[in-house]
């Protein structure tokens, strides 16, 4: 039996401890790292040695969806299992688009979490019936594609701030992130949207209702 190396990312220590206890009781599963936010998740992934990343969606700073999208952009082979308290269709759809291989709710039975980790590690996807139904609903109601569909939720929030005339400092304070992180998001926005000026970003944001 091959070893499955798992990292757990959640901003609540008690949740991380619970996940650790559930997974460490499974033969062949080893917890190789923990983190409390998206930045720590990226650092762990950069160090390598992780097969499956079990990660929350809503965290301080970078969201789980943003982390998944960044890892996908980098071509990182780590497989992502989202473990969230949210079952809204848009969260499920955005997670899948960002590269998540599975999605579970935090009230799922321990056995299902262990099964999901094994399934994802084997190269398959894992969406229990209730989540698969949410994903189907999201796809059916998905509006026509927009230029901003390539952006992460956080990038859209930054773009909205730019369109509203906020400075980087004001955007950082409103979102609870660093000034440097806002600058990074601004650079990413311009690259993804192929827009090189603040005026161009503002025009696009207004056209797309942001």
Mean pLDDT to the nearest integer, 117-133? 91
Domains in the chain: boundaries? 4-140, 147-207
Is the domain covering 4-140 a CATH 3.40.190.10 domain? no
Return the ∠ at Cα 207 (arms to 203 and 209), rounded to 5°: 115
Report the SS3 class of residue 106: coil
Q: Helical H runs in the chain?
A: 13-24, 38-47, 64-74, 89-98, 110-121, 129-140, 153-163, 168-175, 179-193, 198-207
Q: pLDDT digit string (tens) for 162-176?
A: 888 888 899 999 888
Phi-psi region of 131 (alpha: psi -120 to 50; beta: other; left: phi over 0): alpha
Neighbours of 195 (CB within 10 A): 18
Q: Do the two domains 4-140 and 147-207 of this chain adopt the same fold?
A: no
Q: pLDDT digit string (tens) for 189-204?
A: 888 888 888 788 888 7
Q: pLDDT digit string (tens) for 68-92?
A: 999 988 899 999 999 999 888 888 8
CA distance 63 to 66: 5
CATH topology of domain 147-207: Arc Repressor Mutant, subunit A (1.10.10)
Neighbours of 44 (CB within 10 A): 20
Q: Which residues pair with 8 in a beta bridge?
A: 34, 54
Which region among 99-103, 129-133, 134-138, 186-190 has the lowest average model confidence (pLDDT)? Answer: 134-138
Q: pLDDT digit string (tens) for 25-78?
A: 889 999 999 999 999 999 999 998 999 999 999 888 888 999 999 998 889 999
Q: Above 90 in pLDDT, residue 142?
A: no
Confidence of residue 152 (pLDDT cuts 50, 70, 90): confident
| Residue listed under structure tokens 């609870």 | 176
Nearest to 78 by CA among 109, 104, 108, 46: 46
């Amino acid at each position: 039996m091959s070893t499955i190396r798992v990292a757990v990312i959640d901003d609540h220590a008690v949740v991380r401890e619970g996940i650790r206890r559930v997974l460490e009781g499974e033969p062949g599963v080893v917890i190789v790292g923990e983190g409390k936010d998206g930045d720590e998740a990226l650092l762990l992934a950069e160090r390598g040695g992780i097969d499956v990343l079990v990660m929350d969606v809503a965290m301080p700073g970078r969201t789980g969806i943003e982390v998944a999208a960044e890892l996908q952009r980098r071509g990182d082979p780590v497989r992502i299992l989202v473990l969230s308290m949210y079952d809204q269709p848009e969260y499920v759809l955005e997670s899948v688009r960002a590269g998540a291989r599975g999605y579970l709710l935090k009230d799922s039975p321990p056995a299902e979490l262990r099964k999901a980790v094994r399934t994802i590690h084997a190269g398959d996807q894992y969406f229990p019936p209730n989540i698969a139904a949410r994903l189907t609903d999201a796809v059916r109601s998905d509006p026509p594609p927009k230029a901003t569909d390539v952006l992460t939720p956080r990038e859209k929030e930054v773009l909205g701030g730019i369109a509203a005339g906020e400075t980087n400092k004001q955007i950082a304070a409103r979102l609870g992130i660093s000034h440097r992180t806002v600058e990074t998001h601004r650079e990413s926005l311009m690259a993804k949207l192929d827009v090189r000026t603040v005026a161009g970003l503002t025009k696009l944001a207004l056209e797309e209702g942001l």
